[in-house]
Amino acid sequence: MSTYMAKRERYQNRIELLQGTLDLLVLQTLQWGPQHGYGIAQAIQAGSSDVLQVDTGSLYPALHRLEKQKWISATWKLSANKQRTRVYRLTAAGRRQLASERSRWQTLVDAMAGILARPQESQS
């Protein structure tokens, strides 16, 4: 799905999300309570200070994929301005998945940081 984003690139400051990263962000966002698709996109964008732009073409496949995995569940609700929206919430399995994803992400970040923080003496 990320390739779609690459093709339709329009914002210079946008960072392409790694495969699977969006799933983690969605789960993380839903940790704070049920939310609809638009809300999730907005929350990720705001949470990253507009660095991460969530492409709708990736978001909805991701939501439906997570739903199929039974990590999140969805119900139709009326929003504040009386609009019918599909609201997603984290399931118990989703919570466990989030925990394991987080620790894997942390391992990855530490590893990356370790490599990137090494002095760049070999270059000169």
Partner 1 sequence: MKKRDAELRDELKSHLDMAITDRIARGESPEEAVAAARRQFGNLSQIQEATRDVWGRRWLEHLAQDVRYALRTFRRNRAFALVAILSLTLGIGANTALFEVVDAVRLRSLPIADPGGLLEVRLASMDGARGAFHTPHESVTQPIWRELQARQQAFTLFAWSRASFNLAEGGEARPADGLWVSGEFFNALGLRPARGRLLSPEDDRTGCAPRAVLGYGFWQRHYGGDTSIVGRTINIRNRPIEIAGVAPPDFHGLEVGRTFDIALPLCAEAVLSVNGKGRSEAGTTWWLMTFGRLKPGWTLDRATAHLAAISPEIFRTSLPAGYPAISVEKYLAMKFIAEPGGQGLSQLREAYETPLWLLLGIAGLVLVIACANLANLLLARATAREREISVRLGLGASRGRVIRQLLTESLLLVTIGTICAVFLAGAMGRWLVAALETSNRTITLPLIINWRVLGFAVLLAVATCLLFGLAPAIRATGVSAASVLRVTTRGASAGRESVALRRGLVVVQIALSVALLFGSLLFTRTLRNVLSVDPGFRAEGLVVAEIDSARMRLESDRLVAHNDLISERVRSIPGVQGAATVAVVPISGNTGGNDVWPETNTSARFNTYVNFVGAGYFRMLGIPLIAGRDFDARDKPDSVAVVIVNEAFAAKLGGASAAIGQRITREQTPRNPAKTYEVVGVVKNSTYLALKDDPYPTMNYAGTQDQPYPDMQLMVRSSLPPTATTSAITAALANIDSRINVDYTIVPTMIRDTLVQERVLAALSAGFGALAAVLTMVGLYGLVAYSVTRRSTEIGVRMALGARGSDILRLILRETAFLLAIGVGVGVGLAIAGGHTASSLLFRVRPYDPITLLASIALLAAVAFGASYLPARRATRIEPVVALRTD
Closer to partner 1 by Cβ: residue 64 or 96: 64
Cα(54)–Cα(45) distance, rounded to whole angstroms?
7
Give me the 33-52 binding string for partner 1, x by CB under 8 A, dash otherwise.
Answer: ---xxxx-xx----------
Closer to partner 1 by Cβ: residue 24 or 67: 67
Q: Does 83 help bind partner 1 (rule: CB under 8 A)?
A: yes
CA distances from 5 to 17, 36, 60 (A): 9, 21, 13
Give the 3-state secondary structure of residue 88.
strand
User: What is the C-alpha radius of gyration for the chain, rounded to an integer number of angstroms?
Assistant: 17
Residues that bind partner 1 (CB under 8 A): 1, 4, 8, 10, 36-39, 41-42, 55-58, 60-61, 64-65, 68, 79, 81, 83-86
